[in-house]
Amino acid sequence: MKKLDDMPELKRNSSDEPIVWREVFSILWDGRKTLVGGTALIMILGVSSTMYFSKYRSDGFLQFGGPIPLIVKTDVDNKSKEPANGISLADYKRYAAAYTTGSRFNDFVVQNKLQGDPALSELRKAFFSRDGIGKIIEPVYPFTKIDAKELMEPPKDSDNNVIGLRINFEARNPADAQAMVAFLGRYAMDSIVYLIYSDALRFKHAEITTRITRLDNQIIDLKDKLESYQRKGGALKQIVSHYPDAINQGNRQVVTITEENSRYLSPVTHLMSTELEALSANELIIKFQREKKQNLLMREYYDKAKVLIDNNKSGEAVLRALEEIKEGVFKSKDLNDELVKEVYNQITIDNQSAMNVYLEKSRFIAGPSLPEHPSTRLSTALMMSFLGGVLLSGLLVLARQWVTTKSKKPAK
């Protein structure tokens, strides 16, 4: 068994006490040049790498400017509860599932011709990483779990919509970090608008086409009834002409009209009733023809809007192009015609409301911030480098002493 005396630099006392730390400090003192030099070198490397690889973090809060998707009010007298601002959780999950994919990101970059932007390289890596951008773009709710505990009544699902997005990004340059947060906010909102209109325009186009077909059938049915009323009216006029004295006879007092007792009414009464029914049918035909004409105008507009959404990948571009499509459709139409003007105004109101909610009110109300300091503080890096340098250099000195001692031992 080796004796402790064989290792003079790590002697134990006679009572088998732990290593005498004084000897360890003596060894470290003897290697102080190596210790100081190694610590200084590691500190220089640590601080340099921190400064070179340091990143700046920018944050921003994007607020949704109203109920999304936009609620189109069809009844101005409707006094029902106003829909809550923001996006319902079910809709948000559907939108997030789309805008967090790399393919959607690539479509947006290509649409805006940003393929050559070097600042997007780090962002592209985040999209295609394992974690994705779930930690970069986070939903914000009006009520948290802590808020719910303090409230007397828990919020309803509609009152806890996603009201905005908290976005953060780290880059080596402060300006790049700020620009990328702004870019992500624009990208997320653009994707949401694209998904809304991708669904809405296709649905509206199919709905209007179905409505036109239904109006055609209603007009055909009413015209058939009108012909029936006209034939019936002609027959009643002949009956009245055959019995002129019946006009001066007192009418029977029939209180309830049924198939059984309506025959007791005078031919003149029947004639008046038939003419009123014919008048009502004719008015409905005019009304349905008016609606059909308006729906044909709407379908012409939505035909071109559907082509636009099929050939476009940007929600903002689609929304802004709808005004051009509207002007193109109504360029050859007579806007002095109230029927045409009503459709024109309705499309204008819908587009302006969408622009207001999606592109103007939905905006950053905090940030994107321009970071002044890197995410990792220089003082922290300096302290960690110092501690790491002392530890590594000390181990190096002790290891070198141990090797030297081992090499000086005579072979047995």
Region 55-59 average pLDDT: 86
The confidence score (pLDDT) of residue 233 equals 77
246 phi/psi in degrees, rounded to 5: -70, -20
Tokens linked to 162: 């996603």
Confidence of residue 77 (pLDDT cuts 50, 70, 90): very low
In Å, what is the CA distance from 202 to each residue of 71, 195, 196, 304, 349?
17, 11, 10, 11, 19
Q: Is the pLDDT of residue 22 over 90?
A: no
Tokens linked to 346: 């309705």
* Overall pTM > 0.85: no
Pairing relation of β-strands 56-63 and 164-171? Answer: antiparallel
Confidence of residue 237 (pLDDT cuts 50, 70, 90): confident
First to last CA, the chain: 13
Lowest mean pLDDT among 120-129, 258-267, 340-349: 258-267
Express each pLDDT in 317-368 by its tens digit.
999 999 999 999 999 888 898 989 999 999 999 999 999 999 889 999 988 9
Helix axes 120-128, 102-111, angle to 10 degrees: 150
Region 53-81 average pLDDT: 73
The confidence score (pLDDT) of residue 341 equals 92
Q: State the Cα–Cα distance between residues 331 and 337, nearest whole angstrom.
A: 13
The confidence score (pLDDT) of residue 20 equals 58
Q: Which residue has the higher pLDDT, 175 or 379?
A: 175
* Residue partners of 165: CB distance under 8 A and separation at least 6: 61, 62, 137, 138, 139, 140, 185, 188
Q: State the Cα–Cα distance between residues 108 and 113, nearest whole angstrom.
A: 8
Tokens linked to 325: 């499509």
